[in-house]
Amino acid sequence: MAELAVGDKAPEIIAQNQSGESINLSSFLGKKVILYFYPKDNTSGCTTEACNFRDNYQALLQDGFEVIGVSIDSEQSHQKFISKFELPFHLLADEDQKIVNDYGVWVEKNMYGKKYMGTARTTFVINEKGIIEHIIKKVDNKNATQQIRDLYQG
């Protein structure tokens, strides 16, 4: 599949969240969506990023954004992650890797010389009409919200 670019229609997502509810990306039309992909629940970088979105969630809502996290972890893993860190937004379980593949973030990684497949930490900002407005490939975990805000100030 071709790599997604700014201006492309965001691929539809139909997935289960941490509570087993079916979430459709199209149901968020009319809002801006911060769709962030992260490698794994309860790891240091992913926790830092999730907590940054948590700490800024009310302000993001006021700015018209909805936050949705996606990883290949299970609903149960997401439930534990959410309750441990009091995350107020949806985390989608992508155990079959459909969403990470649709968004082109399932990539070959290399750690200590060992190659493996994993999720590239990437944030897509999708506008009210379902079009990709921004793609952040170099996510700053500690300042993920500010990175997005900076895109809209100017």
Distance in angstroms (rounded) separating the CA atoms of residues 51 and 46 = 8
Beta bridge partners of 68: 35, 90
Which of 15, 46, 125, 139 is an active site residue? 46
Q: Which helix (H) or strand (E) holds 115?
A: strand 114-119
Retrieve residue 55's tokens. 């700490």
Distance in angstroms (rounded) separating the CA atoms of residues 119 and 72 = 8
For residue 148, the SS3 value is helix
Asked if residue 116 lies in contact with residue 17, where contact means CB atoms within 8 angstroms, the answer is: no
Counting every residue written for the chain, the total comes to 154
Asked if residue 88 lies in contact with residue 57, where contact means CB atoms within 8 angstroms, the answer is: yes
| Catalytic residue list contains 51 | no
Active site residues: 46
